[in-house]
A and B are shown apart, each in its own frame.
Chain A
Amino acid sequence: MYTRQVERILANYKDNRTALISILQDIQAEFNYLPAEVLKLVAQKLNLKLIDVYSISNFYKSLRLSPQGKHIITICTGTACHVRGTLKVLDEIQSQLGIAPGDTTQDKKFTFNTVNCLGACAIGPVIVVDGKYYGHTNPMKARQILSNLKRKIKQ
């Protein structure tokens, strides 16, 4: 079922195996994550061992082996945010969603990620919800942001 799309992406890179990371990023953009069958397909087409493709997918943080939820909540854990109290905000989001960073809720509605630094240090601690930045957050603000999001989904 993935063959046509994968072949199209590989053709963009002229089957060049040195572009493997970019190829996998493009495939991920297409399917939301990297399904096991796709990894096998890529290995086969590029004449690589499956372990080579898998280890790349596992090593780089931007590549995912499981699908993301519909809404993505990302918290910046950079140093500037950390000294301004990110951990407390992280704890709050974790308890509100009931999942640890890196996980997706069972209903596939929310994915909770951390990022090493967003470069928006001036407004830390920063949370990003579906691409929208929220600055100067604290546990209470985070709770509000999440309950607003949940209310919006229900409507």
Chain B
Amino acid sequence: MKKIKTARNLEQYRQEIIKKDSKYKKIITVCGGTGCHAYGCQLVKQRFQKELQRNKLLNRVRLKFTGCHGFCERGPIVTIRPENIFYQRVQENDVPEIIKETISKGRVVKRLLYEDSITKEKIVHMEEIPFYKFQKRLVLGQNGLLEPDKIQDYIAVGGYSALVKALKLSSEKIIEIIKNSGLRGRGGAGFPTGRKWEFCREAEGEIKYVICNCDEGDPGAYMDRSLLEGNPHSVIEGMIIGAFAIGAKEGYIYVRHEYPLACRNAQIAINQARQLGLLGKDILGSEFDFDIKIGKGGGAFVCGESTALIASLEGRVGEPRDKQHLHTTESGLWGKPTNINNVETWANVPLIINKGPEWFYRIGTEKSKGTKIFSLVGKVKNTGLVEVPMGMTLREIIFDIGGGTSDGKEFKAVQTGGPSGGCLPAESLDLSVDYEQLSAAGSMMGSGGMIVMDETTCMVDVAKYFLNFLKEESCGKCLPCREGIKRMLEIVTDITEGRGAEDSLALLEELATVVADTSLCGLGKTAPNPVLSTLRYFRNEYENHVRNRKCPAEVCAPLLRYVILADCCKGCGLCMKACPYNAISGRPKEVYTINQDICTKCGSCRSVCKFSAIVIG
């Protein structure tokens, strides 16, 4: 690759790539996201490669192994462009038929199409599938169009044109554009991005840093991973623009070590951008120097907090410090002014520069602009990554896009904001999703996890789950968080194991308030949210556990007792075979019994009984 020295050269290079690509009459994309990987998309891709070669189609058909397409429930996903035909659950053996029918004859393979769950109609095109139809995929949309390890693909779709534009502007002008767009941090807290940039720019000091936070620790959230894996250049382009505006010469991408593919793709992207001269000295002849390094996290949730992240980058234990009096924009990495933004925030920057702040400002609600990516997971039919304009209601996201709960069970709650967020009940479904509304309801936007729960989810158990998570992840520096979470967990555990007392709930509330008020960093301050929000909306469930020693959702094992109904049992013996602990005994054609001393309440027996003879007594 030759270095690109001017904006004109970049444009020429873009035209060259487009011209070269025009020989391809068709493009096959195979989704290489995490979900599809687990389904075996690697084999599908290899088979396509082999079959295209065998049929001598490689110079007419381009095979792209892309980032996440979002609809993980239906993976492995294959699309055929330019028609945008959407094939789902594609297996290796389906490949020859796709080549023979769709690629060679232009015919659709019906059995691989998505079937609408209500109308039973087969849907051919991606954009007509309800899961995609209601989304606005501004940031995530390019994922399906490009191979993340080919910078040419990104340049072909207009990549780095925002950088060209930005380099012609003054720093003040760029910051003004970002401020006017109304962009707010996508990592959780929602601080106005333009203002943060301005603080950092105005901070005193010659050396400044920009950091991309990809320490995505929220369990159930994988938006940032998919973005950095699937479209790393959009993040890098955003960072270069930000660094130019702020006056930083060095940047870091901080990635969780659990995301090896994101590390790899980001490193490849950085190397390619360097080779082309888009990173390094005198970028596009602007006399602006900037380069990016990757810092790998060590697997600690607290390192998503900005000061802990900085400690980790400096090679220290990831403990946060008080930042109320000294912001990272004044004193961050190695004591220098540092601007940290989340992956999704950075990826929005090139879009805003290209399309203008007014365009961005028009999308969303009064105070929350643009789109937000959510990972819609849990007990929902269409699991995956969805990008929607701010202000869409939870109902639209969960039911119109997500297709409602899986197995047709009754919706109970949706959890947003990860361990810092809260659980919202069915009455909140018409809430429009923006920073303020979610906070007012006792949850928060967070980085974008959205976990759907149905009638079989116990809300006390969910609170226990998050407390247990936070107990493990609390760094231990400040007492309220270290001890408070532990004590809250003890109380909630007692409740789920039948030892709850009448005053447990009041004590829990009091403790939660103290932890929220007195903890040092965001982890501790928000740690009580899962408890407080479940107490607020699902208090009767707690009371049922405490007073009646019952778990209505049938989750808390110590409160359950599996019994076999003599009237219904046909003596088939399936339950006995299914029990992993040999807790069931009996003879064929007679009524079987469960030994309560051995039973672990795993439910295996009930799931196999054909006569509904096993119930919770």
Residues of A within 8 A of B124 (CB): none
Q: In the complex, how many angstroms separate the beta carbon of B361 from the nearest chain A beta carbon?
A: 32
**Contact assessment for B315 and A19 in the assembled complex, using a CB-CB cutoff below 8 Å:** yes
Please tell me the size bucket of the interface on A: 35 or more
**Contact assessment for A83 and B299 in the assembled complex, using a CB-CB cutoff below 8 Å:** no
Residues of B within 8 A of A5 (CB): none
Known A-B contacts A119-B34, A121-B375, A133-B37; A79 and B220 likewise in contact (beta carbons under 8 Å): yes
A117 nearest CB neighbor, chain B only? B219
Residues of B within 8 A of A82 (CB): 219, 462, 465
B218 at the interface (CB under 8 A from A): yes
Residues of A within 8 A of B312 (CB): 21
Q: In the complex, how many angstroms separate the beta carbon of B314 from the nearest chain A beta carbon?
A: 5
B 209-247 contacts with A by CB, 8 A: 217-222, 225-226
B457 nearest CB neighbor, chain A only? A83
Interface flags for B573-603 (1: CB within 8 Å of A; 0: not) read 0000010110000000000000000001011
Residues of B within 8 A of A78 (CB): 219-220
B452 nearest CB neighbor, chain A only? A83
**By DSSP majority rule, is chain A's interface helix, strand, loop, or mixed?**
helix
A 108-147 contacts with B by CB, 8 A: 115-124, 126, 133, 135, 138-140, 143
A 74-130 contacts with B by CB, 8 A: 77-80, 82-84, 88, 91-92, 95, 115-124, 126
**Contact assessment for B72 and A122 in the assembled complex, using a CB-CB cutoff below 8 Å:** yes
Interface flags for B436-471 (1: CB within 8 Å of A; 0: not) read 000000000000010101000100001001100100
Tell me which of A19, A62, A80, A92 contacts B220 (CB under 8 A).
Answer: A80
A17 at the interface (CB under 8 A from B): yes
**Contact assessment for B578 and A120 in the assembled complex, using a CB-CB cutoff below 8 Å:** no
Q: In the complex, how many angstroms separate the beta carbon of B290 from the nearest chain A beta carbon?
A: 20
Q: How far is the CA of A4 from the CA of B313 in the complex (A)?
A: 26
**Contact assessment for A59 and B37 in the assembled complex, using a CB-CB cutoff below 8 Å:** no
Tell me which of A20, A79, A91, A135 contacts B602 (CB under 8 A).
Answer: A91
Q: In the complex, how many angstroms separate the beta carbon of B303 from the nearest chain A beta carbon?
A: 9
Known A-B contacts A59-B318, A117-B218; A79 and B465 likewise in contact (beta carbons under 8 Å): yes
B105 at the interface (CB under 8 A from A): no
Residues of A within 8 A of B375 (CB): 119, 121
Q: In the complex, how many angstroms separate the beta carbon of A118 from the nearest chain B beta carbon?
A: 7
B301 nearest CB neighbor, chain A only? A116
Residues of B within 8 A of A32 (CB): none
**Contact assessment for B299 and A84 in the assembled complex, using a CB-CB cutoff below 8 Å:** no
Q: In the complex, how many angstroms separate the beta carbon of B342 from the nearest chain A beta carbon?
A: 16
Q: In the complex, how many angstroms separate the beta carbon of B543 from the nearest chain A beta carbon?
A: 22
Q: How far is the CA of A133 from the CA of B318 in the complex (A)?
A: 30
**Contact assessment for B378 and A61 in the assembled complex, using a CB-CB cutoff below 8 Å:** no
Residue picked from A56, A124, A139, most chain B C-beta under 10 Å: A139
**Contact assessment for A56 and B317 in the assembled complex, using a CB-CB cutoff below 8 Å:** yes
B32 at the interface (CB under 8 A from A): no
B415 nearest CB neighbor, chain A only? A79
Q: How far is the CA of A83 from the CA of B604 in the complex (A)?
A: 16
Tell me which of A19, A61, A133 contacts B38 (CB under 8 A).
Answer: A133
Known A-B contacts A79-B451, A139-B604; A119 and B39 likewise in contact (beta carbons under 8 Å): no
Tell me which of A25, A91, A135 contacts B298 (CB under 8 A).
Answer: A25
**Contact assessment for B217 and A116 in the assembled complex, using a CB-CB cutoff below 8 Å:** yes
Known A-B contacts A122-B377, A139-B602; A115 and B258 likewise in contact (beta carbons under 8 Å): yes
**Contact assessment for A121 and B383 in the assembled complex, using a CB-CB cutoff below 8 Å:** yes
Residues of A within 8 A of B318 (CB): 59-60
Residues of B within 8 A of A138 (CB): 604, 607
Residues of B within 8 A of A122 (CB): 35, 72-73, 75, 377, 383-384
B292 at the interface (CB under 8 A from A): no
| Total B residues in contact with A, Cβ cutoff 8 Å | 59
Interface flags for A46-88 (1: CB within 8 Å of B; 0: not) read 0000000001100111110000000000000111101110001
B224 nearest CB neighbor, chain A only? A119
**Contact assessment for A121 and B72 in the assembled complex, using a CB-CB cutoff below 8 Å:** yes
B222 nearest CB neighbor, chain A only? A119
Residues of A within 8 A of B72 (CB): 120-123
B38 nearest CB neighbor, chain A only? A133
Residues of A within 8 A of B379 (CB): 83-84
Residues of A within 8 A of B377 (CB): 79-80, 121-122, 124
Known A-B contacts A61-B298, A79-B449, A138-B607; A25 and B314 likewise in contact (beta carbons under 8 Å): no
Q: In the complex, how many angstroms separate the beta carbon of B353 from the nearest chain A beta carbon?
A: 29
Known A-B contacts A61-B299, A135-B38; A80 and B451 likewise in contact (beta carbons under 8 Å): yes
Residues of A within 8 A of B34 (CB): 118-120
Known A-B contacts A79-B449, A123-B35; A21 and B301 likewise in contact (beta carbons under 8 Å): no
Q: How far is the CA of A78 from the CA of B418 in the complex (A)?
A: 10
**Contact assessment for A117 and B38 in the assembled complex, using a CB-CB cutoff below 8 Å:** no
A18 nearest CB neighbor, chain B only? B315
Q: How far is the CA of A18 from the CA of B252 in the complex (A)?
A: 14
Q: How far is the CA of A59 from the CA of B73 in the complex (A)?
A: 35
Residues of B within 8 A of A79 (CB): 219-220, 377-378, 415, 418, 449, 451, 465-466
Tell me which of B257, B301, B578 contacts A140 (CB under 8 A).
Answer: B578
A44 at the interface (CB under 8 A from B): no
B569 at the interface (CB under 8 A from A): no
Q: How far is the CA of A80 from the CA of B384 in the complex (A)?
A: 11
Q: In the complex, how many angstroms separate the beta carbon of A85 from the nearest chain B beta carbon?
A: 8
Q: How far is the CA of A122 from the CA of B88 in the complex (A)?
A: 14
**Contact assessment for B299 and A62 in the assembled complex, using a CB-CB cutoff below 8 Å:** yes
B 463-490 contacts with A by CB, 8 A: 465-466, 469, 473, 475
**Contact assessment for B220 and A117 in the assembled complex, using a CB-CB cutoff below 8 Å:** yes
Tell me which of B580, B603, B607 contacts A95 (CB under 8 A).
Answer: B580
Tell me which of B218, B317, B473, B602 contacts A55 (CB under 8 A).
Answer: B317
B184 at the interface (CB under 8 A from A): no
B 254-279 contacts with A by CB, 8 A: 257-259
Residue picked from A63, A80, A120, most chain B C-beta under 10 Å: A80
A96 nearest CB neighbor, chain B only? B580
Known A-B contacts A79-B451, A92-B580, A117-B222; A59 and B415 likewise in contact (beta carbons under 8 Å): no
**Contact assessment for B580 and A143 in the assembled complex, using a CB-CB cutoff below 8 Å:** yes
Residues of A within 8 A of B317 (CB): 55-56, 59
A19 nearest CB neighbor, chain B only? B315
**Contact assessment for A20 and B451 in the assembled complex, using a CB-CB cutoff below 8 Å:** no
Q: 28 A–B contact pairs at CB < 8 A?
A: A20-B315, A21-B298, A21-B312, A21-B315, A56-B316, A60-B298, A61-B299, A79-B449, A79-B451, A79-B465, A79-B466, A80-B219, A82-B465, A84-B378, A84-B379, A88-B603, A117-B219, A118-B258, A119-B222, A119-B375, A120-B34, A121-B35, A123-B38, A124-B377, A138-B604, A139-B602, A140-B604, A143-B580
Closest A-B pairs by Cβ, 7 of them:
A60-B298, A119-B222, A61-B299, A122-B72, A78-B219, A121-B377, A80-B377
**Extra A-B contacts (20), CB below 8 Å, given A116-B258, A138-B607:** A17-B315, A21-B312, A56-B315, A59-B300, A60-B298, A79-B415, A79-B466, A80-B377, A83-B457, A84-B378, A92-B602, A119-B225, A120-B35, A120-B38, A121-B377, A121-B383, A139-B602, A139-B603, A139-B604, A140-B604
